[in-house]
Amino acid sequence: MSATTDATADTIGVTYPFAAIVGQDRMKLALLANAVNPAIGGVLIRGERGTAKSTAVRGLAVILPAITVSTCRYRCDPSSGNICHECRAKLDASVSIETESQRVRVVDLPVSATEDRVVGTIDLETVLKDGRRSFEPGLLADAHRGILYVDEVNLLDDHLVDTLLDSAASGVNRVEREGVAFHHPAEFILVGTMNPEEGDLRPQLLDRFGLAAEIKGDRDPKARAEIVRRRLAYETDTAAFLEQWQPATNDVMALIERARGLLPTVEVSDHLLGLITHIANAMGVDGHRADIVMYKTARTIAALDGRSAVSLEDVRRAAELALPHRRRRDPFTPPGLDPDELDRSIQAFEARPAPAQATDSAADATDGAAGAADDSTMSSTPADNGPPGDANEADQRLASDEATTAPPVNAPERIPFQKPRTGRRTSAEVKGRRGHSVRSRPMVHDDPPDIAIVDTVRAAAARRPQKGAPEIGVQDLRVHRRMRKVGNLMLFVVDGSGSMAAQRRMQLTKSAVLSLLADAYKRRDRVGVITFRKTEAYETVPPTSSLDVAHARMHELPTGGRTPLAHGLELARLVVERERARDAQLRPILILLTDGVANVGLSAGSDPITDALQSAGAIARDHVPALVVDADRRHNRSSSLVELANQMAAAHVRLDALAAGQLTSLIRLAAA
């Protein structure tokens, strides 16, 4: 149901039928392929709001065939070597393992989940009752041999992403904490859904998804009408709707069963294996996981179609799912796979001379030559997939204005001009249960109930060292000290007035911002853009992790009109205040790009310069690190921006005096 909301599933435990979803064939193929062959490694579904992403995943649970599991806590596969301690002990003692048939689980991992809930923790009841340490499994244990579903996976905390990466790579969840060392099997199909406008994923996690499906709302009026009809029928009489679609659901279940039975017999010819590796090379993907996933997916697609031999079309469809999220790209090129580029790659492979495949060594040599020839003849290489200009043009334009001496910088003493911290983000101690536990401390009255069990028991035992179970008092309570990656917010306040449009100042300003966005992408900073022109300021880009959105809106930035500088500063202060209320550990940095020609006050009759200075002083009192970039090229004019920068406790620098890359360094210094 390509145009319904993601909440179409779940009216009191009832799920919208997978077979009733209209369109979205690529998403459904990716999910079915993983249902048939879990070794593919999961699927990432990227799409705008209301495109049935969650509906499809939840509907998949209903059509998955049952599996044989052990009766242990972890639902182990007795025929697998990756089993829990209980099952291993039975095998070592030559005791038979009891099994039963169960449906595959779909386990939700909420974005707000704590580390304890995901990996497991100490069993508090056992500790307090019996005085012994016992492990209480978490969501990774529940997801073993099932599907781990993460909605809005791009918003998941970094420390949880790291945990998922470790478990997905090894198939084992290892826990070393609070005096407990424990591990258990955790093999799962990772399924994630996300809206790209809310930010992208780290490349390490992207690569862990076997397949990726990019989906959009259906633009066909007939299809949209059918979506509405089915949704209303589902809401009006759910039981009748489910009964109507039960035959189609049974057909999908039978299709999965047949494909699973056929999959072991599906063969891939050496010629098509060569094509798979050739496509992966031509598309410029890193590593070899893409080749392996394409191979597995092509076989699975053939099995779903009821064939025992893979065809060229199977390889093509597999490439469309396995490659888009793995391609090397610059920060502002959206993920995807150009169908024409894929066609050219396939045609180049098919046009190779036949003797080139005589031996493995000859094939390898020809592959390299063909790849080089392809790179020279194709209209774009993977490294050049981005639109012309962007950060590279920004560097070139800034380099053309490079000064022979250091740029003039007026920096207040509070800004430390030293080498800034490197790394993507800074860790800071946070309150609450979200974050990685590093140690403990005594509990105070306003602490959340995040008890560090082992340290609490130790404190009680130290206070009363007599034999027997310790009696725990309020003074013994210890809570976790948790560390979390603190987000950085780069808030650009850009002058879009008519004076900035003159003498190509806005073009230079846009280039500088695009260069800074590229740096923010590498560090996974959040960015926001405020523009001011005519008589007011606009939040052009609300703070976001999606650099694609910020980049697109910067290109579309309109110019013209008067200069309401005070409005821009006041809106920037309010945005920082709002974002700090959402995240108390936020580290903002305000970058003002203007020529300083303020001529619109905050109210009728007020002085524009005075209003701007007052707004700048309010920003300084809020302790917001800032940098003022002077875009005025009339050096002989006495600029008010130096005074404004002093009032804001900000560094001041002229844009046209900066060498390429220096602006980024100055911003990092200001934020240090």
Residue labelled with tokens 């699927």: 43
Q: How far apart, in Å, are the Cα atoms of 456 and each of 7, 440, 453, 465, 475? A: 42, 9, 5, 14, 9
Q: Is the predicted pLDDT of residue 663 greater than 60, yes or no?
A: yes
Strands 651-654, 409-410: parallel, antiparallel or unpaired by DSSP? antiparallel
* Chain center to CA of 40: 20
Q: Does 653 fall in a domain?
A: yes
Domain co-membership, 398 together with 509: yes
Q: Does 1 fall in a domain?
A: no
DSSP annotation of 451: B
User: What pTM did the predictor assign?
Assistant: 0.66
How far, in Å, CA of 190 to CA of 192, rounded? 7
Query: Reduced to 3 states, what is the DSSP secondary structure of residue 487?
Result: coil
Q: What is the CATH number of the domain that holds 56?
A: 3.40.50.300
Domain co-membership, 292 together with 361: yes
Domain co-membership, 613 together with 629: yes
Give the chain's mean pLDDT.
76
Alpha helices in 356-424 (DSSP H): 360-377, 390-400
Helix pair 53-63, 238-262: axis angle to 10 deg: 70
Q: What is 252-301 written as a DSSP string? A: HHHHHHHHHHHGGG-B--HHHHHHHHHHHHHTTBSSSHHHHHHHHHHHHH
Confidence of residue 509 (pLDDT cuts 50, 70, 90): low
Q: Does 561 fall in a domain?
A: yes
Interacting residues of 465 by C-beta distance below 8 A, sequence separation 6+: none
Domain co-membership, 304 together with 419: no
Residue labelled with tokens 């859904």: 193
Q: Which residue has the higher pLDDT, 135 or 644?
A: 644
> Residues 26, 289, 328, 352: which is the catalytic one?
289
Domain co-membership, 549 together with 446: no
Q: Does 316 fall in a domain?
A: yes
Would you call 105 a catalytic residue per the annotation?
Answer: no
Domain co-membership, 182 together with 326: no
Q: Is the predicted pLDDT of residue 388 greater than 50, yes or no?
A: no
Residues 459-477 have a mean pLDDT of 67
Q: Is the predicted pLDDT of residue 443 greater than 80, yes or no?
A: no
Domain co-membership, 309 together with 402: no
The residue out of 466, 485, 504 marking a domain boundary is 485
Domain co-membership, 480 together with 493: no
Per residue in 325-370, pLDDT (tens digit) is 887 655 556 667 778 888 888 988 888 876 544 444 444 444 444 4
Structure tokens at 620: 């300084």
Helix pair 565-582, 608-621: axis angle to 10 deg: 20
What are the backbone dihedrals phi and psi of residue 326, each rounded to the nearest 5 degrees, phi first? -110, -5
Number of domains in the chain: 4
Q: Three-state secondary structure along 98-121?
A: CEEEECCCEEECCCCCCHHHHHCE
Structural domain span for residue 341: 267-384
Residue 164 near residue 210, CB atoms below 8 Å: no
The residue out of 438, 463, 485 marking a domain boundary is 485
Which residue in 403, 339, 42 sits closest to 206, CA to CA? 42
Query: Reduced to 3 states, what is the DSSP secondary structure of residue 10?
Result: coil
Structure tokens at 384: 């050049």
Q: Is the predicted pLDDT of residue 72 greater than 80, yes or no?
A: yes
Domain co-membership, 125 together with 31: yes
* pLDDT of 403: 35
Domain co-membership, 560 together with 662: yes
What are the backbone dihedrals phi and psi of residue 604, each rounded to the nearest 5 degrees, phi first? -60, 125
The continuous run of DSSP H or E covering 149 comes out as: strand 146-151
The residue out of 357, 384, 411 marking a domain boundary is 384
Q: Is the predicted pLDDT of residue 62 greater than 70, yes or no?
A: yes
Domain co-membership, 175 together with 35: yes
Q: Does 522 fall in a domain?
A: yes
Domain co-membership, 18 together with 162: yes
- Positive/negative CA dihedral, 541, 544, 550, 552: negative
Interacting residues of 176 by C-beta distance below 8 A, sequence separation 6+: none
